[in-house]
Amino acid sequence: MKLSFRWYGESDPVTLEYIRQIPTMDSIVTAIYDVPVGQVWGLEKVLKLKRTVEKAGLKFDVIESVPVHEDIKLGIGNRDEYIENYKENIRNLSKAGVKVICYNFMPVFDWTRSQLDKELEDGSTALVYYKDQVDKLDPLNSNLSLPGWDSSYTKEELAELFAQYKKLGEEGLWENLEHFLREIIPVAEEEGVKMAIHPDDPPWPIFGLPRIITKEENIDRFLNLVDSEYNGLTLCTGSLGCANFNNMERLVDKYSAMNRVHFMHVRNVKLLEDGVSFEESAHYSGCGSLDIVKILQILHKNKFIGYLRPDHGRMIWGETGKPGYGLYDRALGASYITGIWETLSKLS
């Protein structure tokens, strides 16, 4: 297991110097944030980022994410041009030594929460998803802004996207994902870069938009679209584990044994009584609904050698910053994970 940490670039209040001080920290997980979606990341820009990370004493092995343009997901417009650009990004990242690219295929927006600063019983604040709050939201007839939404869309453009995805449906999205994979995976194989899709978060349709990387049956279908070691997973315990229809331990065991897990996001979530609402919690198993020790035990048993990062953390000790991505709680999570892994290694 190689421990890594998400970093949002020079504007991130969590500096590389702070991250470097976390015991056993190996790699930085980052991206180019100032290039429009669908465009090529210039090689010099990528190499500059690599130099910045390595100067801090960390490795530049994992990119999260190279976003997939909506034209690719919808199979319209300039899809072919954007796919060629995506291939070029794989090549440029390979030249910089990148080993894994995390991406997702979620329509319109990324992870969704109904509140970013819910105060928990201990006074910390966390990201939460309450179904009753989400059900009252209307993205097309309000000034709604949620995490993961691309704010560059006008209301009219957003309405058109929703209409296009409604017409496309799940099967159309599957077809476009297969086309995308058949184009990019041969390039990934040539360049030695493993592609790792991130599951939908949460793993069910939001506002009527289709979502397909949600459960075991669908993950099996995804892996079989292009049966290659380079077509793999970012297995996120919080994204899949927030649904009571997913057995997280089974999923970790099955896919890590197949060597198709290239990147692990480890965090805990507390599932609420309605089965479709949840609160993010501290990484410690007792704080949520997932057995983090068991999950790591399974990875250790299956000799997982991929990259792992502590995922979303609470805001604690008065820290302010990017919701879910403060330093303190993620550093605690990293140390918790490291302690478990060391114990497993010494007892095996």
Q: Any idea which residue has 């309450």 for tokens?
A: 130
- Of 165, 230, 325, 328, catalytic: 325
- Of 69, 198, 262, 300, catalytic: 198
Q: Is-catalytic flag, 236?
A: yes
Cβ–Cβ < 8 Å for 213, 181: no
- Token digits of residue 230: 């380079």
Q: Is-catalytic flag, 287?
A: no
Residue 109, C-beta contacts closer than 8 angstroms, at least 6 positions apart: 146, 148, 149, 150, 206
Interatomic CA distance for residues 97 and 251, integer angstroms: 29
Per this entry, what is the length of the chain? 348
User: Which one, of 330, 307, 324, lies nearest residue 4 by Cα?
Assistant: 307
Cβ–Cβ < 8 Å for 105, 68: yes
Q: Is-catalytic flag, 311?
A: yes
Q: Is-catalytic flag, 198?
A: yes
- Of 242, 311, 329, 336, catalytic: 311
- Of 86, 130, 236, 262, catalytic: 236
Cβ–Cβ < 8 Å for 88, 40: yes
- Of 312, 328, 329, 336, catalytic: 312
Q: Is-catalytic flag, 138?
A: no
- Token digits of residue 7: 């970093």
Roughly how many angstroms between the first and final C-alpha of the chain, as a whole number?
15
Q: Is-catalytic flag, 300?
A: no
- Of 262, 265, 283, 300, catalytic: 265
Interatomic CA distance for residues 48 and 54, integer angstroms: 10
- Residues designated as active site: 198, 236, 265, 311-312, 325
